[in-house]
Amino acid sequence: MSLLAQVAGGVVGLAALSFASARLAARRPRWSSVLSAGAIAGVLAAGALVAVYVSTGRGFNYAWKQYAALQPGQAATAGGAVADVNVEFVEWARDRLGPGETFYLVPDGPSGDAAAYQWTTYRLLPSLAVDRPELADVLVFYDERPDGADYDRGAFERPRTYEPGYAVARRIDGA
């Protein structure tokens, strides 16, 4: 609908510009026509901006109404649901990470999806993700069984399982 209004406005504006230019050229010096054409173009551009801002405002208003109904906990995890992340597991794993601890996602991110990986690492803050398991305080197994994963089992405690394929394993002190 917004595109249709913009196209219609552009057609009407061009017609008005043509008409105004022809009328002004017949009565006034050439520079006056150029200034008038510029003013008309400016008005048309302002109209297009207003149409964009109105459309954007409607989108923000719609989103606000949708998210206003969410409880704070739901709002915090809504992004994970959109990214198709196992939100319940991430929240469970988050409770098992201490502030300042580092973690490594095994395999490297949920299902290889960049958006899911980004949301998961965001949600596990203030713990920070590392890029190699040997740098991690905790391994977070996301959709991968620990018994099939490649990691130094002597350096980590036995994994605590949330459900099959989802677990955390803490580094053994001094390992």
Question: Residue 29 has what pLDDT?
Answer: 60
Lowest-pLDDT range of 4-8, 100-104, 151-155, 156-160: 4-8
Residue 53 counted as domain residue: yes
Is residue 151 within 8 A of residue 133, CB to CB? The reply is yes
Instruction: For residue 101, tell me if it sits in a domain.
Output: yes
Amino acid identity, position 148: G
Asked whether residue 62 falls in the same domain as residue 128, the answer is no
pLDDT for 93: 95
pLDDT in tens, 120-135: 999 999 999 998 889 9
Choose one of 68, 89, 106: the last residue of a domain. 68
CA–CA gap between residue 143 and residue 147 (Å, rounded) = 12
Please check whether residue 175 lies inside any domain of the structure: no
pLDDT number for residue 38: 74
Q: How confident is the model at residue 139 (pLDDT cuts 50, 70, 90)?
A: very high
Q: 79 with 158, same domain?
A: yes
CA separation for the pair 96, 140 (Å, rounded):
10
Q: Give me the number of domains the chain comprises.
A: 2
> Is 80 in the same domain as 155?
yes
Amino acid 83: pLDDT: 83
Give the mean pLDDT of 22-35. 62
Average pLDDT of the chain to the nearest whole number: 81
Look at residue 23 in the predicted model and tell me its pLDDT. Answer: 63
What is the residue range of 45's domain? 2-68
pLDDT at 144 over 70: yes
Q: What is the pLDDT of residue 113?
A: 75
Q: Which has the minimum average pLDDT: 29-38, 48-57, 151-160?
A: 29-38
Q: Which one of 68, 86, 116 terminates a domain?
A: 68
Coil, strand or helix at 150: coil
In a domain, 60, yes or no: yes
pLDDT tens per residue across span 112-121: 678 888 889 9
- Shared domain for 157 and 130, answered yes or no, is yes
Residue 115 identity: A
The structure tokens listed for 111 are 């299902």
Does 86 fall in a domain?
Answer: yes
How far apart CA 62 and CA 70 sit, in angstroms, is 14
CA gap 118, 16 in Å, rounded: 51
The answer on 100 and 36 residing in a single domain is no
